[in-house]
């Protein structure tokens, strides 16, 4: 909302310093007015200063054609500037006849667009300045011709001294939805009057109390949607151009001037905040209006030319035949006021706010009117004031007189009655505000107070403040006007007196895994939670299409889904980085994915059970991606990622194993992938990305490793219990096995451990497979060798087995016996997968 | 040894000493020295062998021979000790002469990094935990009921326009008569409603988390992060909110920066106020004089705050005649950008390694 300081100054009855540089301690300097507005909760977005020095009234003394025969559009104008005659070349087609007055910018003037005028020649004739249009002077929107001034204005006078509002400071405020009263200059001035200690000056009104009642003028069958309608029949109206001061005023607050009648309704809209509409009464069938609900699919063409198809929830102002306005939103083209209109029907109404909002949204018509009606305008004194103001201006500027009126009332909102305990003000704010100060502020804002009772006061807020509904609303008013600068910073309760709520363990786990991956040298990426549907394709087998969570109103198709997986987002980041610089890339993301459950979960009783069973699943995932650096693909990246993920789990006390995948994951390389398991639970997957997935992203030259952990599957890390430390040395045996390359280390270790379990279970304190470095890994993997000496398709696995007894040293001989039994047992097991498995 | 037969045992001893002395300078290390010692003084050493002759000399000569023997042995042991000392000194010199260039680091460490938003969120959580707040979060896909209605943002009210919201439709296979209308939460405020519904009063939480609005331009991303604080108890006041914000600003920015309130409107608080802090980038210990980051105003707008609206209490099952409370909220992304001097929002979610790898942290 643009607020003109010139306008404010009229309403406050005090001059306002409109210059950009003013007295720092002058409360009436525009800059300080702006700061005051911010401190009152009317946040200032910016302030613009306007002035127009040196532009004066010029009198046309003579007009002659330009001597150059080709310059048919140019005229030589002899202008009197109050002191002397100057010659100006002018190309306008609307030059007034000799004696007419124009806006003249002499040489040396700087126009609002920054152009500094100098004497120059136009096709060989000197021009000593410029005759200007409204647009060139930035006092109106009309750029078609020059500005022609009233004939009686004195040549030589500065324009800005003659027209209030040319020099102005315009403050842009952002008005929160609770303050419809501040959507007009009057409401803003009311706040300022109280803050600055001056008296609000009501604008000039015209009473039409003596005009006859004309009940047939307006009929309101939909009275619950239009609880009050003031209608006025006016005659003798001359439609034309509004005076310059009014046009300038509208231009300053961002509105376009049309004709004097429309400009006056807009002027009152900006001054009082009350939208109104003027119909050409002669064009209304039956010369009357009916405020009714629209019929199904009833059409209307509104002022901006659009044709709307109305619904039965739309309120219309109709004549005897058809809708003439979409109530509270926009007038209809059929009865608009234009040149030649001489009889008006002026509407000043109060519409039910929420219904106006529905209409405006339904038809995509957010207008200055609907903006105010949906926030609730006044239905009482201020409505009448707006009408009186418009009638005065229509009388003074258009010659229109009121020949009939009516005031149709339906069920008006009830005025709030609030009990306010003045002591509660200080209690809520935490500072002392005396009852007299509370009373001063509230009465200053128009709240009627009954202080006669002990304790709580009975307060009646004014009808133009629908936001004042409860005692806290009044306390906010006190806070706004008393100010918060002297609010102490004081803890009301000691911080020790704290409440401990249970916390979501998954958040802590997510943070710990984040730290773990970061400690492995990976970089955390935060990706958008949205993803394009096409990019989900590689991982689509992981879920049903119906599990995708989709915003109804995405901003673009690339953001059509909530991510059901972290891979697409990380691949986006790889693609981005690959396009910008090819370098070692290791990224991870820990965040939520979104999937609908496959079926409606059971209702669990809880305080939020009305919502929780109906939400999608949002499990956390920790995903990491690495780009290999070697020329050829070695699988080393996937192996490094496996290390990363296992280390990251170990760091939070979870000891996981990589195991071969019983059912390979379709988007990972079929021969380079593993499941990550903790005991009987698979908690993640890791591998090299499938060549097809990589090719689909045009990244085929890269070796990409990807792995992820599923936080919902991770168990709580156990609290570790003490184990006695090993006191006797271990004896080691190295073992080299020749195996098919399909046989994984995991299977070999499992076979050895299984054989050991059955081979070693007998006897008193027999040698056990044990490892001094890591009690959880009695078998150490030394090397996975492929190459010379090993047949193609096979690999040599070198392992070290540690044997130790609990309470004694073991002998070489007994270890050899046990070891041989273990190896034989393991080979027997492995024969099921690889009959050729043997010791090398 | 046949020639030696003509020599007296004493001569033979002296001969051995000379031979020992001749060999000594060639000894280069500890093992060589030990070898020499064994050769002369060991169990089968030359000197030890000569001592065995003791029984063969006449008793009258035994005493003299014994003396000579001890003299030679002592001389050898002294030589050995001296030589051992020399060798140790030489070895130490050699050790000290080793030179390794530790400044040659062909592969400097590339530490992993945490995203600036994560770092900032954690720092905020750390500060508020110290101030006695629990940390809470909730679902991103949330009921309109908790996102708006419970927070006093009523249906069809213009206040719903204060944020442009993403709506979520449930799939047909989950059709249910009681299913509430869903949105992507446009603020973290639903966590306030959830916490009050689940735990009642008193309560003291911060809720950091991901939020979504239909905004996408130079200063808005459709996904962003917020943190909200909520404190409900008896006798909680606006002055207490101010004290908490002061403590937070002090802990987060580490200096005596001021906080100010500007009255404003948020449907879930009444009275409501925006809060600013003094700009830390042009602060001289007393005043912030204005700089590019605070647009010359000396103040940085942080967020919204206010006393919890009694209607919110009533919707969340808390007796508004007994309890008062306050809430505040601000953007984590903006705080992260301020903290790290990140100029453009787009750097936040692009995943550019050249950006991410800058943000090393403790």
Q: For A375-392, write each residue's pLDDT tens digit.
A: 999 999 999 999 999 999
How confident is residue A772, by pLDDT bands cut at 50, 70 and 90?
Answer: very low
* Ranges A207-221, A763-777, B206-220: which has the least confidence: A763-777
Count of alpha carbons within 13 angstroms of residue B126, beta-carbon side? 9
Cβ partners under 8 Å of residue A817, min gap 6: none
Residues 6 or more apart from B1 whose CB is under 8 A from it? Answer: none
CA pair distance B95, A437, nearest whole angstrom: 87
Indicate whether B90 and B120 sit together in one domain.
no
Mean pLDDT across the stretch A622-647? 90
Residues contacting residue A100 through CB under 8 Å, at least 6 positions apart: A59, A60, A148, A149, A151
Task: Report the residue of chain B nearest A495, measured CA to CA.
Answer: B132
Q: What letter would DSSP give residue A186?
A: H
How confident is the model at residue A101, as a pLDDT? 95
Nearest residue of B to residue A517, measured between CA atoms: B112
Question: Is A138 annotated as ligand-binding?
Answer: no
CATH of the domain at B286: 3.30.930.10
Q: Which of A358, A362, A378 shows the shortest CA–CA distance to A276?
A: A378
Minimum-distance CB partner of B110 among A521, A524, A598: A521
Per the domain annotation, does B106 fall within a domain? Answer: no
Task: State the Rg of chain B over Cα.
Answer: 43
Does the bond joining B283 to the residue before it have cis omega, within 30 degrees of 0? Answer: no
Number of residues written out for chain B: 362
CA dist A260 and A278 (Å) reads: 11
Could you tell me the pLDDT band of residue A582, with boundaries at 50, 70 and 90? low
Note the pLDDT of residue A498: 62
B136 plus B229 within the same structural domain: yes
Q: Per the structure block, which two tokens stand in for A177?
A: 């939805």
Residue B288 DSSP one-character state: B
How many structural domains are present in chain B?
2
Residue range(s) defining the domain that contains residue B88: 9-94
In a domain, B101, yes or no: no
Whether residue B236 and residue A493 make contact (CB cut-off 8 A), yes or no, is: yes
A482-503: buried (b, 16+ CB within 10 Å) or exposed (e) per residue? bebeebebebbbeeeeebeeee
Chain centre to alpha carbon of residue A125: 57
Helix, strand or coil, per DSSP, at residue A587: strand
Short-list A187, A217, A212, CA closest to A202: A187
pLDDT score for A494? 59
- Specify if B99 maps to a domain: no
Distance from CA of B301 to the nearest CA of A (A): 12
Q: Could you tell me if residue B229 is inside a domain?
A: yes
**pLDDT of A454:** 82
Q: Kindly provide the b/e burial profile for residues A129-161, where b requires at least 16 CB atoms within 10 angstroms of the residue's own CB.
A: bbbbbbbbbbbbebeeebbbbeeebebeebbbe
User: Which chain B residue shows the shortest CA-CA distance from A501?
Assistant: B134
* Interface contact B202-A499, CB threshold 8 A: yes
**Together in a domain, B230 and B324:** yes
Task: Looking at the structure, tell me whether residues B262 and B138 fall in a common domain.
Answer: yes
User: What mean pLDDT comes out for the span A219-242?
Assistant: 95
| 3 state DSSP class of A67 | coil
Specify the CATH number of the domain A2-51+168-196.
Answer: 3.30.56.10
Q: Is the dihedral of CA B243, B249, B251, B254 positive or negative?
A: negative
> Which CATH architecture describes the domain A215-409?
3-Layer(bba) Sandwich (3.50)
pLDDT by residue, tens only, chain B of 362 residues: 444 557 888 888 888 899 999 999 898 888 999 999 999 998 888 888 888 877 788 888 888 888 888 899 999 999 999 999 999 999 899 999 999 888 888 888 788 999 999 999 999 999 999 888 999 999 999 999 999 999 999 887 777 777 789 999 999 999 999 999 999 999 999 999 999 999 998 999 999 999 999 999 888 999 999 999 999 998 899 999 999 999 899 888 878 888 899 999 999 999 999 999 999 888 888 888 888 888 888 899 999 999 999 999 999 999 999 999 999 999 999 999 988 988 888 889 999 999 999 999 88
Q: Are residues B74 and B168 in the same domain?
A: no
Chain B positions touching A430 (Cβ under 8 A) are 237-240, 242
Let me know how many helices (H) and strands (E) chain B has, helices first: 11, 10
Please report, rounded to a whole number, the percentage of residues in chain A having pLDDT higher than 90: 75
Q: Which fold has domain A505-600+613-710?
A: BirA Bifunctional Protein; domain 2 (3.30.930)
Mutation target vs B (from A371, A608, A620, A624; most B CBs, 10 A cutoff)? A608
Q: Is the pLDDT of residue A600 over 50?
A: yes
DSSP string, A597-644: -SSPPPPPPSTTTTTGGGSPB--EEEEEEEE--SSS--SHHHHHHHHH
Bridge partner list, A524 = A588
Q: What is the pLDDT of residues A168-204, one digit of tens each?
A: 999 999 999 999 999 999 999 999 999 999 999 989 9
* B108 found inside a domain: no
Do B123 and B82 share a structural domain?
A: no
Q: With a threshold of 0.90, tell me whether the complex ipTM lies above it.
A: no
Q: Does B242 sit within 8 Å of A489, measured CB to CB? A: yes
> Is there a domain that residue B131 lies in?
yes
Same domain, B257 and B318: yes
- If asked whether residues B172 and B73 sit together in one domain, one would say no
Residue B104 inside a domain? The answer is no
A149 close to A141: Cβ distance less than 8 angstroms: no
How many angstroms separate the CA of residue A673 from the nearest CA in chain B?
Answer: 24
* 3-class secondary structure, A505: helix
- Give which of B172, B174, B232 to mutate to test A binding, by max A Cβ within 10 Å: B174
Q: pLDDT tens digit string along A738-747?
A: 999 889 998 9
8 A C-beta contact, residue A680 and residue A801: no
Same domain flag for B192 and B307: yes
**What is the C-alpha to C-alpha distance for residues A286 and A276, in angstroms, rounded to an integer?**
21
CA distance A601 to A604: 9
φ/ψ region of A698 (left if φ > 0, alpha if ψ in -120 to 50, else beta) reads left
What residues of chain A lie within 8 A of the CB of B216, using their CB?
555-556
Quick check: B267 and B277 in contact, CB under 8 A? no
B65 and B197: one domain? no
Residue of A nearest to B150 (CA): A608
| Long-range CB pairs of B98-106, under 8 A, 24+ apart, other chains included | none
Evaluate whether A524 touches B115 at the Cβ level (below 8 Å): yes
Query: DSSP assignment of B162-230, as one string?
Result: GS---EE---GGG--TTPPPEEE-SSSTHHHHHHHHHH-SSEEEEEEEEEE-S--BTTB-SEEEEEEEE
A476 marked ligand binding residue: yes
User: Do A2-51+168-196 and A215-409 share a fold?
Assistant: no
- In A, minimum Cα distance to B244 occurs at A491
Q: Please, what is the end-to-end C-alpha distance for chain A in angstroms?
A: 87
Question: Is there a single domain that holds both residue B187 and residue B150?
Answer: yes
Give per-residue pLDDT as tens, A788-803.
889 988 999 999 998 8
Does B129 lie in the same domain as B66?
no
Cβ distance A526 to B310 less than 8 Å, yes or no, reads no
List the domain boundaries for chain A.
2-51+168-196, 56-162, 215-409, 418-480, 505-600+613-710, 731-839
Asked whether the beta carbons of A356 and A291 are under 8 A apart, the reply is no
Question: Which DSSP state fits B112?
Answer: -
Per residue in A120-159, pLDDT tens?
888 888 899 999 999 999 999 888 899 999 999 999 999 9
Instruction: Please check whether residue B281 lies inside any domain of the structure.
Output: yes
pTM attached to this predicted model? 0.83
Mean pLDDT of A356-368: 93
Inter-chain contacts counted by CB atoms under 8 A, chains A and B: 283
Q: Which residue of B has its CA nearest to A519?
A: B112
Q: Is the peptide bond before A3 cis (omega within 30 degrees of 0)?
A: no
Decide if B352 and A577 are in contact by the 8 Å CB cutoff: yes
Residue A771 has pLDDT above 60, yes or no: no
* DSSP assigned state of A84: S
Q: For residue B167, give the nearest of A43, A551, A572 by CB distance.
A: A551
A519 to chain B, closest Cα gap in Å: 6
Q: Report the candidate in A90, A106, A258, A103 with the shortest Cα–Cα distance to residue A166.
A: A103
Architecture of the structural domain at A56-162 = Beta Barrel (2.40)
pLDDT at B2: 46
Query: What pLDDT does A495 receive?
Result: 54
Contact criterion met (CB < 8 Å) for A517 and B112: yes
The topology (CATH level 3) of A731-839 is: Alpha-Beta Plaits (3.30.70)
CB contact (8 A) between residue A553 and residue B167: yes
pLDDT in tens, A505-545: 899 999 999 999 999 999 999 999 999 999 999 999 999 99
Share of chain A above pLDDT 70, in %: 98
Residues A418-480, CATH architecture: 2-Layer Sandwich (3.30)
pLDDT band of residue A603 (cuts 50, 70, 90) is confident
Q: Which residues pair with A44 in a beta bridge?
A: A173
């Amino acid at each position: 909302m643009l607020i003109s300081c010139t306008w404010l100054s009229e309403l406050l009855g005090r001059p306002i310093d409109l210059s950009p540089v003013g007295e720092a301690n002058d409360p009436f300097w525009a800059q300080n007015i702006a700061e005051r507005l911010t401190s009152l909760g009317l946040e200032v977005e910016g302030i613009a200063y306007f002035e127009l020095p040196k532009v004066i009234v010029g009198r046309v003394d003579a007009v002659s054609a330009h001597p150059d025969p080709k310059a048919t559009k140019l005229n030589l104008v002899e202008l009197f500037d109050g002191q002397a005659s100057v010659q100006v070349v002018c190309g306008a087609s609307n030059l007034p006849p000799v004696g007419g007055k124009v806006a003249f910018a002499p040489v040396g003037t700087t126009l609002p667009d920054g152009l500094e005028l100098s004497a120059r020649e136009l096709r060989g004739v000197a021009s000593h300045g410029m005759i200007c249009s409204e647009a060139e002077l930035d006092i109106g929107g009309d750029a078609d011709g020059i500005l022609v001034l009233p004939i009686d204005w004195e040549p030589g006078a500065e324009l800005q001294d003659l027209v209030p509002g040319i020099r102005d400071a315009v403050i842009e405020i952002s008005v929160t939805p609770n303050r419809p009263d501040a959507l007009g200059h009057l409401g803003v001035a009311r706040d300022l009057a109280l803050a600055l200690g001056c008296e609000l000056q009501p604008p000039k009104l015209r009473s039409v109390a003596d005009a006859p009642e004309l009940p047939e003028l307006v009929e309101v069958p939909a009275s619950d949607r239009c609880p009050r309608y003031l209608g006025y029949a006016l005659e003798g109206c001359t439609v034309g151009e509004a005076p310059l001061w009014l046009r300038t005023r509208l231009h300053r607050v961002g509105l376009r001037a049309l004709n004097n009648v429309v400009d006056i309704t807009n002027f009152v809209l900006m001054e009082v905040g009350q939208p109104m509409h003027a119909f050409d009464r002669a064009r209304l069938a039956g010369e009357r209006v009916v405020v009714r609900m629209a019929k199904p699919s009833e059409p209307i063409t509104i002022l901006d030319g659009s044709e709307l198809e109305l619904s039965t929830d739309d309120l219309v102002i109709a004549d005897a035949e058809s809708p003439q306005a979409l109530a509270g939103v926009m007038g209809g083209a059929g009865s608009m006021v234009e040149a030649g209109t001489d009889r008006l029907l002026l509407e000043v109404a109060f519409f039910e706010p929420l219904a106006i909002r529905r209409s405006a949204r339904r038809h995509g018509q957010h207008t200055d009117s609907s903006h105010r009606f949906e926030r609730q305008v006044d239905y009482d004194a201020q409505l009448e004031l707006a009408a009186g103001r418009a009638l005065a201006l229509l009388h003074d500027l258009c010659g229109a007189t009121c020949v009939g009126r009516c005031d149709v009332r339906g069920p008006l909102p009830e005025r709030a009655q609030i009990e306010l305990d003045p002591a509660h003000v200080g209690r809520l704010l935490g500072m002392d505000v005396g009852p007299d100060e509370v009373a001063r502020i509230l009465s200053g804002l128009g709240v009627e107070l009954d202080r006669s009772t002990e304790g709580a006061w009975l307060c009646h807020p004014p009808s133009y403040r629908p936001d004042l509904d409860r005692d806290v609303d009044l306390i906010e008013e006190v806070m706004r006007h008393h100010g918060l600068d002297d609010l102490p910073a004081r803890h009301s309760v000691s911080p020790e007196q704290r409440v401990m709520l249970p916390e979501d363990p998954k958040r802590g786990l997510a943070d710990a895994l984040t730290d773990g991956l970061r400690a492995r040298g990976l970089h955390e990426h935060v990706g958008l939670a949205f993803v394009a549907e096409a990019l989900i394709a590689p991982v689509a087998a992981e879920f049903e299409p119906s599990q995708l969570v989709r915003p109804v109103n995405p901003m673009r198709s690339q953001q059509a889904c909530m991510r059901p997986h972290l891979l697409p987002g990380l691949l986006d980041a790889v693609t981005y980085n690959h396009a910008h610089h090819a370098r070692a890339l290791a990224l991870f993301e820990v965040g939520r994915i979104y999937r609908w459950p496959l079926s409606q979960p059971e209702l669990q009783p809880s305080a939020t059970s009305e919502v929780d069973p109906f939400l999608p699943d949002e499990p956390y995932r920790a995903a990491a991606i690495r780009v290999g650096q070697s020329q050829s693909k070695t699988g080393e990246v996937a192996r490094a990622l496996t290390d990363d993920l296992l280390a990251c789990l170990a760091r939070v006390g979870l000891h996981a194993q990589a195991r071969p995948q019983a059912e390979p994951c379709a988007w990972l390389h079929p021969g380079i992938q593993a499941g990550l398991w903790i005991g009987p639970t698979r908690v993640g997957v890791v591998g090299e990305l499938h060549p097809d997935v990589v090719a689909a992203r045009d990244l085929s030259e890269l070796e990409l490793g990807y792995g992820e952990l599923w936080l919902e599957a991770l168990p709580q890390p156990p609290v570790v219990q003490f184990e006695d430390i090993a006191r006797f040395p271990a004896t080691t045996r190295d073992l080299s096995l020749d195996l098919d390359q399909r046989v994984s280390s995991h299977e070999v270790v499992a076979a050895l451990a299984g054989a050991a379990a059955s081979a070693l279970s007998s006897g008193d304190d027999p040698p056990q497979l044990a490892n001094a470095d890591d009690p959880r890994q009695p078998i150490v993997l030394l090397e996975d060798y492929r190459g010379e000496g090993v047949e193609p398709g096979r690999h040599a696995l070198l392992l070290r087995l540690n044997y130790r007894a609990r309470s004694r040293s073991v002998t070489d001989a007994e270890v050899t016996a046990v070891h041989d039994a273990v190896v034989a047992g393991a080979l027997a097991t492995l024969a099921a997968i690889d009959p050729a498995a043997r010791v090398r | 040894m046949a020639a030696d037969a003509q020599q007296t045992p004493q001569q033979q001893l002296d001969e051995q000493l000379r031979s020992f002395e001749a060999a000594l300078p060639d000894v280069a290390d500890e093992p060589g020295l030990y070898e020499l010692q064994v050769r002369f003084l060991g169990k089968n050493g030359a000197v030890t062998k000569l001592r065995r002759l003791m029984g063969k000399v006449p008793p009258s000569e035994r005493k003299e021979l014994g003396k000579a023997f001890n003299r030679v042995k002592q001389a050898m042991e002294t030589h050995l000790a001296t030589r051992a000392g020399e060798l140790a000194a030489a070895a130490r010199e050699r050790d000290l002469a080793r030179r390794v260039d530790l400044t040659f680091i062909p592969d400097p460490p590339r530490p992993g990094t945490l995203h600036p938003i994560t770092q900032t969120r954690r720092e905020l959580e750390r500060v508020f935990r110290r101030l006695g707040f629990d940390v809470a979060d909730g679902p991103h896909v949330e009921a309109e009921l908790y996102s708006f209605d419970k927070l006093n943002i009523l249906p069809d009210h213009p206040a719903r326009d204060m944020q442009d919201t993403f709506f979520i439709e449930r799939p047909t296979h989950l059709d249910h008569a009681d299913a509430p209308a869903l949105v992507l939460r446009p603020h973290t405020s639903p966590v306030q409603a959830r916490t009050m519904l689940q735990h009642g009063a008193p309560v003291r939480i911060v809720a950091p988390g991901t939020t979504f609005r239909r905004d996408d331009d130079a200063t808005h991303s459709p996904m962003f992060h917020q943190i909200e604080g909520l404190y409900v108890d008896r006798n909680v006041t606006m002055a207490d909110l101010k004290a908490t914000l002061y403590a937070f600003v002090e802990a987060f920015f580490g200096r005596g920066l001021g906080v100010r309130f500007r009255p404003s409107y948020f449907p879930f608080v009444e009275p409501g106020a925006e809060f600013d802090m003094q700009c830390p980038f042009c602060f001289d210990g007393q005043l912030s004089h204005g700089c590019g980051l605070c647009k010359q105003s000396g103040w940085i707008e942080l967020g919204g705050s206010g006393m919890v609206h009694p209607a919110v209490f009533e919707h969340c099952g808390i007796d508004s005649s007994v309890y008062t409370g306050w809430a505040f909220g601000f953007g984590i992304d903006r705080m992260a950008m301020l903290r790290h001097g990140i100029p453009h929002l787009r750097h936040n979610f692009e995943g550019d390694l050249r950006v991410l790898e800058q943000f090393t942290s403790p």
